[in-house]
Amino acid sequence: MSKKILYVLEYPVRCSPGILFEFLSTPAGLQEWFADKVDERDGIFTFGWNGTEEKAELLDKEDAKFIRFHWLHSQKDEYFELAIEKSEVTNQTILIVKDFAEKKEIKDQSQLWEYQVKDLFHRIGS
């Protein structure tokens, strides 16, 4: 099995960091765009798609800044993170996605994130 590498995607978004963070960090918010069904219990988020489930542990979060998850089936040092930054130049809000994938899968995984983020932006009216 080849080692997965970290890749980073950035998306400018027209939304306040506080509202955006609700969509990134709560089961109800994540269910709007990321998965068909999302539940959380004791720091473990269960994401459901078309009858399949994946579990992720909440590793860390800072309100209106970032949230980091670890898929329970993944290597210990792998995670995915959804972060919010403000551009100092334009003052625009930027969604930053950090995830791990094998080098040959980064393009496909990036396209999947692109699709998911477009759905998120549609939900928040951005």
Q: What is the pLDDT of residue 2?
A: 60
CATH topology of domain 5-124: Alpha-D-Glucose-1,6-Bisphosphate; Chain A, domain 4 (3.30.530)
Residue 2 DSSP symbol = P
Residue 121 DSSP symbol = H
pLDDT, one tens digit per residue, over 19-55 is 999 999 999 999 999 999 999 999 999 999 999 999 9
d(CA 58, CA 34): 15
Q: What is the pLDDT of residue 90?
A: 86
Q: What is the DSSP string of 3-25?
A: PPEEEEEEEEE-S-HHHHHHHHH
Please name every residue paired with 74 in a beta bridge, in sequence order, or none if there are none.
none
* Portion of the chain with pLDDT greater than 70, in percent: 98
